[in-house]
């Protein structure tokens, strides 16, 4: 992963939405060169910060055309859980 992913001061000032967009952009920009453990780390972090538990499904199993990182973030952060 790029140095930006591990820049602690940057991560401390990012909102979860900004961090998710950065991680997804990094994934899409570098997917051919990322190791499995780097991909796993990206999606683990996305699952921790996203209100939508299906965020990885929007990347790997989209319903319809492939979504951009911005569209994935918008969809995931618009998610509202059903109150039981």
- Tens-digit pLDDT string for the chain (84 aa): 555 445 555 557 899 999 999 999 999 999 999 999 999 999 999 999 999 999 999 999 999 999 999 999 999 999 998 888
pLDDT at 8: 55
pLDDT at 44: 98
Q: Where are the domains of the chain?
A: 16-77
Distance, CA of 46 to CA of 27 (rounded, Å): 11
**pTM (2 d.p.):** 0.81
pLDDT at 7: 54
* Phi, psi values for residue 59, rounded to 5°: -85, -50
């Amino acid at each position: 992963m790029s140095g930006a992913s591990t820049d602690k001061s940057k991560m401390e000032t990012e909102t979860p939405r900004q961090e998710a967009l950065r991680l997804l952009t990094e994934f899409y920009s570098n997917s051919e060169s990322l190791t499995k453990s780097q991909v796993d780390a990206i999606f683990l972090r996305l699952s921790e910060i996203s209100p939508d538990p299906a965020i990885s499904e929007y990347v790997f199993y989209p319903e319809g055309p492939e979504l951009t990182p911005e569209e994935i973030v918008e969809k995931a952060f618009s998610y509202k859980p059903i109150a039981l």
